[in-house]
Amino acid sequence: MRILIITQVFYPDTVATGQVLWDLAEFIAAKGNTVTTITSKYPYEDKHQVYPNEEYVKGVRIIRLGQSKLGKSNSFFRIIDFFSFNISIFIKLLGIRSKDYDVILGTTVPPFLALIGVLISKIKKIPFCYYVMDLQPELSIASGLLKSKSFFSRILTYLGNYSINKSSLIISLDNFMTQYLCERGAKLDNIITVPIWPLMENRYTGSRIENPFRKKFDFGDKIVCMYSGNHAYVHPLDTILNTAKALSNDDRFLFVFIGGGVRKKDVTNFVKENGIRNVLQLPFQPRNIIHESLASADVQIVILGDGMVGFTHPNKIYGALFVGKPILYVGPQQSHVTEILSELPGNIICQHGEVKLLTNKLIEFADSSVNDWKKIGDNNSNYAERNFNPDFLKNKIYQGLLSLNDRN
């Protein structure tokens, strides 16, 4: 099989979507298939760095295109960057030959890249597989960035529906997303539901206090509550920040925020305005030490915004489970996260705005023993191994692509 992947983010970018697609590409190439990826020259977060125009890595050919690099300082700049990449890749795809590829796989980074994939699919007569990581304009509407009844929203919804309905195969991340895709016109027979696998190759097995990442940043014996990932509009951090403020006089707690994104500055501003000293901010960490950074926490934080269920899918839950840490979830009562945590007692669940409840739950957690924390974490880890084996999930997608190829 000859597969073409189109995406703005890919190896060696640290963004989760890029890591997922790299894992999948490497897996498919290792089975003797030809895999080519067309992506951006620039990392998602740092447009000052430039990747090579073309390279081969573990059998995967990577072609990188230029685009504007205004950055993520405001929404207008982001839109320009997204638009310029879409234009670049559309022009590049117009030059491919139908006989060169059996399948095109595209995702949702940047928004409406799938529309380009569908159009090229029709022009070149190559089946298109839509890997749905999130949905627009739903996320922008739910975040308050767009009005649901506006003309622009209606146009975006129409284009999104076209991409969904014209894709030969759709990869959904959870049952809520699958149901919503069907409501938008997708045929259930054309959807495979495959969650994200834990994005790490190693596991830290040493003691809590001796964890290298913990020692490097002098966490000591504090109870570290960690949010690691993109600070996005769709994952509001207000409840966690206000809980950190409520616990600012309790020396047992440290709240660590790792990553970047449009809401990173909100964390910085909150800390300055409230003069709290129990919050530490760190940049995205390299993938080769992610197992140590995640394992340095005592509690891993997973957040899903209200009104976002079915539209997006925070994958932090899988890494947190895999490294064997208790999980603190803030979000709607019904979601793919609560589906998982309903089978795993001891983890902390609350809704947005429930600061007092969350504060009390964390105090109860602090009053329990390290052995109690370990039991919760071990149960989480065992669950992840049973249900989210990376090779099993990647193979499920691979088999879906093979069946699509066979149908054509």
Q: How far apart are CA 10 and CA 22, in angstroms?
A: 6
At residue 313, the 3 state secondary structure works out as: coil
Contact between residue 108 and residue 16 where contact means Cβ atoms under 8 Å apart: no
Q: How far apart are CA 101 and CA 109, in angstroms?
A: 21
Q: What is the pLDDT of residues 397-407, one digit of tens each?
A: 999 999 886 66
- Cα 394 to chain center, whole Å? 16
DSSP for 344-385 reads STT-EEE-TT-HHHHHHHHHHHHHS-HHHHHHHHHHHHHHHH
- Given CA atoms 58, 49, 71, 276 in this order, what sign does their dihedral have? positive
Q: How far apart are CA 134 and CA 112, in angstroms?
A: 11
Cis-peptide into 236, omega within 30 deg: no
Q: How far apart are CA 20 and CA 28, in angstroms?
A: 12
Strand bridging mode 103-106 / 169-172: unpaired
Contact between residue 189 and residue 265 where contact means Cβ atoms under 8 Å apart: no
Can you list the domains of the chain with their CATH numbers? 2-197+389-407 (3.40.50.2000), 212-387 (3.40.50.2000)
Phi-psi region of 62 (alpha: psi -120 to 50; beta: other; left: phi over 0): beta
Q: 117-124 contacts: CB < 8 A, separation 24 or more? A: 117/6, 117/163, 117/167, 118/162, 118/163, 118/166, 118/167, 119/90, 120/90, 120/93, 120/94, 120/96, 121/166, 121/168, 122/166, 123/94, 124/93, 124/96, 124/97, 124/98
Contact between residue 235 and residue 314 where contact means Cβ atoms under 8 Å apart: yes
Q: How far apart are CA 14 and CA 73, in angstroms?
A: 19
- Given CA atoms 72, 73, 78, 80 in this order, what sign does their dihedral have? negative
pLDDT at 72: 61
Those residues of the chain that have pLDDT short of 50 are none
Burial of residue 343, with CB atoms counted within 10 A of its CB: 0-12 exposed, 13-18 middle, 19 or more buried: exposed
Q: What is the pLDDT of residues 46-74, one digit of tens each?
A: 667 889 999 999 999 999 998 887 666 66
Contact between residue 340 and residue 403 where contact means Cβ atoms under 8 Å apart: no
Nearest to 132 by CA among 399, 407, 397: 397
Q: Find residue 3's DSSP bridge partners.
A: 35, 103
Q: How far apart are CA 269 and CA 208, in angstroms?
A: 31
CB-based contacts of 186, cutoff 8 Å, min separation 6: 164, 165, 167, 170
pTM: 0.89
pLDDT at 30: 97
pLDDT at 408: 57
User: Residue 315 has what DSSP assignment?
Assistant: T
Angle, nearest 10°, between helix axes 113-124 and 151-166? Answer: 50
pLDDT at 407: 60
pLDDT at 230: 84
DSSP for 124-152 reads HT--EEEE-SB-TTHHHHHTTSS-TTSHH
